[in-house]
C-alpha cells in the first residue's frame, strides 16, 4: 500500500491562557535543549579525541532534567522528549558531517517552536478546533481540509512574532487503494422523497403501486370521516381501512425486502447513516411518523441480510456531518433545508443527497479499515 506523508500548516488562534502555556512550553523546550547541548559540548571538549569515552559517557536525559526543574512537568512532556531526540539527531548529523554543530536556542529569536507527537489520538481536529496535549482545544483556521482518512502523527506549534501556527505531519492512504480491497462498496443517504440516494447517483423510490395505495388510503379515510360514528356503514368502512392498512404495510415490506436484497447481493460493503430520526428530521425535513417505520425496517433488513451473506454493513457515526461536508475537498459548510444543490467555495456543486451519499460511502471505507486493521492502519 502506498502512503503519503505531508505537512499541513494552519493558523492558530489560541486564548490568552493557551498563549501563556505555549510560551511556557517554548521556554521549557529551549531550556531542555540548551542544557543537553551544553553537556554535549563540554563532553566533546573533554573527550573529543577519545571517541570511545565520548560514546560511553552517561548522558543526561529528559527525566533527570525534569527532576531538577519540576515546573517542566506542567508542559507537554512529549515536547521535551522530542527536543532530546532532535538534539541526538542533530549530533549524529554533525558527526557524519552532513550538518554543522547544533546551536543554542535563544529566547530573543522571534521564531519559537516545539514539536509533539500523537499518542492515543490525543492530537485531533474537532470542528474548528485542534485538540493538543495540555492545551486542550485550540481554535484553528482550517483553510484547507486534511485528506480523508488521514492520521495526524505530529504537530509543531510555532510562534512567529505575534502569530501562532501549527504544522501537522499527516499520513494517509490513497482511498482508491483501499477501495480495491472490495469488489464493490456503496454509501446510502436516506432521503425524504423515496428511500435513499446511493453514492453512484441512483435513487431508490417506492414503486407506483405503493404510492397509489397511499392515495387510496387517504381517499378511504375521508369517506370514513363522513360516516356517522358507530353506524353500520361506518363499521364497514373501518374494516375496509384496516385491511387496506395491512395491504400497504405488506407492499412496503415487500419493497424494502427487495431493495435490501438487491444491495446486499450487489455490494460487499454498504455504508449507511446511524438511524436517529430526531436528528434526521432537523437536517432533512423528515416527517418522523412516516419515515421511522420504513428506515428502521430497511436498516434491520440490511443488517440481517448482510450478516447472512457475509457482507459488511457500516453505520456511520451519528454526528458525522454528511450533509454539510464537501465530498470534493472535505470542507464543512451549512446548507439550508430548502437547498437541493450543495455549493462549496472550492467550486464543487452537486445534488445534496448525492454529496451526502458519497461522504457516507467514504466514511464507511475509512471505518471499515480502522475496524479491520486498527486505528493506525491508515498510517502504514
> Catalytic residues, which ones?
189, 273, 353
Judged by CB, which is closer to Zn ion: 57, or 331? 331
Among 109, 346, 349, 373, binds Zn ion (CB under 5 A): 346
Q: Is 344 in the site for Zn ion (CB under 5 A)?
A: yes
How many other C-beta atoms can be found within 10 angstroms of the C-beta atom of residue 235? 12
Judged by CB, which is closer to Zn ion: 276, or 349? 349
Q: Is 343 in the site for Zn ion (CB under 5 A)?
A: no
In the complex, minimum distance from the CB of residue 153 to Zn ion, in angstroms, rounded to a whole number: 25
Q: Is 321 in the site for Zn ion (CB under 5 A)?
A: no
Q: What is the full DSSP assignment across 206-260?
A: --HHHHHHHHHHHHHHHHHHHSPTTSHHHHHHHHHHHHHHHHHHHHHHHHHHHHH
Crossing angle for the helix pair 232-266 and 208-226, to the nearest 10 degrees: 160
- Point out which span in 103-111, 123-131, 262-270, 324-332 binds Zn ion (CB under 5 A): 324-332
In this structure, the strands spanning 349-351 and 124-126 are unpaired
- Point out which span in 42-50, 90-98, 238-246, 342-350 binds Zn ion (CB under 5 A): 342-350
Judged by CB, which is closer to Zn ion: 203, or 324? 324
Judged by CB, which is closer to Zn ion: 133, or 149? 149
- Point out which span in 168-176, 200-208, 320-328, 349-357 binds Zn ion (CB under 5 A): 320-328
Q: Is 348 in the site for Zn ion (CB under 5 A)?
A: yes
> What's the angle, vertex CA 196, arms to CA 190 and CA 198, rounded to 5?
110
Q: Is 328 in the site for Zn ion (CB under 5 A)?
A: yes
Binding interface with Zn ion (CB under 5 A): 326, 328-329, 331, 344, 346, 348
Amino acid at each position: 500500500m502506498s502512503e503519503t506523508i505531508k505537512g499541513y500548516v494552519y493558523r492558530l488562534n489560541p486564548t490568552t491562557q493557551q498563549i501563556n502555556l505555549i510560551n511556557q512550553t517554548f521556554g521549557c523546550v529551549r531550556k531542555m535543549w540548551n542544557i543537553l547541548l551544553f553537556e554535549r559540548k563540554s563532553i566533546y571538549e573533554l573527550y573529543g579525541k577519545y571517541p570511545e569515552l565520548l560514546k560511553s559517557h552517561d548522558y543526561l536525559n529528559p527525566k533527570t532534567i525534569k527532576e531538577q526543574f519540576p515546573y517542566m512537568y506542567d508542559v507537554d512532556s512529549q515536547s521535551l522528549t522530542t527536543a532530546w531526540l532532535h538534539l541526538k539527531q542533530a549530533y549524529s548529523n554533525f558527526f557524519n558531517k552532513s550538518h554543522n554543530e547544533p546551536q543554542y536556542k535563544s529566547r530573543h529569536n522571534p521564531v519559537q517552536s516545539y514539536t509533539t507527537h500523537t499518542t492515543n489520538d490525543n492530537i485531533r481536529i474537532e470542528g474548528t478546533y485542534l485538540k493538543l496535549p495540555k492545551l486542550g482545544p485550540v481554535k484553528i483556521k482550517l483553510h484547507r481540509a486534511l485528506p480523508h482518512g488521514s492520521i495526524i502523527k505530529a504537530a509543531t506549534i510555532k510562534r512567529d512574532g505575534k502569530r501562532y501556527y501549527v504544522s501537522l505531519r499527516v499520513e494517509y492512504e490513497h482511498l482508491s487503494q483501499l477501495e480495491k480491497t472490495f469488489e464493490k462498496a456503496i454509501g446510502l443517504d436516506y432521503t425524504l422523497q423515496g428511500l435513499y440516494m446511493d453514492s453512484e447517483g441512483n435513487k431508490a423510490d417506492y414503486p407506483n403501486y405503493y404510492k397509489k395505495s397511499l392515495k387510496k388510503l387517504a381517499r378511504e379515510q375521508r369517506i370514513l370521516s363522513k360516516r356517522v360514528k358507530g353506524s353500520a356503514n361506518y363499521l364497514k368502512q373501518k374494516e375496509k381501512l384496516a385491511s387496506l392498512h395491512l395491504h400497504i404495510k405488506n407492499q412496503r415490506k415487500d419493497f424494502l425486502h427487495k431493495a435490501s436484497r438487491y444491495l446486499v447481493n450487489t455490494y460487499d460493503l454498504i455504508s449507511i447513516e446511524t438511524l436517529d430520526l430526531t436528528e434526521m428530521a432537523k437536517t432533512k425535513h423528515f416527517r418522523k411518523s412516516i419515515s421511522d417505520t420504513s428506515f428502521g425496517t430497511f436498516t434491520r433488513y440490511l443488517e440481517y441480510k448482510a450478516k447472512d451473506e457475509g457482507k459488511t454493513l457500516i453505520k456511520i457515526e451519528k454526528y458525522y456531518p454528511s450533509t454539510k461536508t464537501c465530498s470534493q475537498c472535505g470542507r464543512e459548510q451549512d446548507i439550508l433545508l430548502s437547498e437541493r444543490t450543495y455549493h462549496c467555495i472550492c467550486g464543487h456543486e452537486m445534488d445534496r443527497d448525492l454529496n451526502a451519499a458519497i461522504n457516507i460511502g467514504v466514511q464507511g471505507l475509512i471505518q471499515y479499515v480502522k475496524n479491520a486493521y486498527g486505528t493506525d492502519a491508515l498510517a502504514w
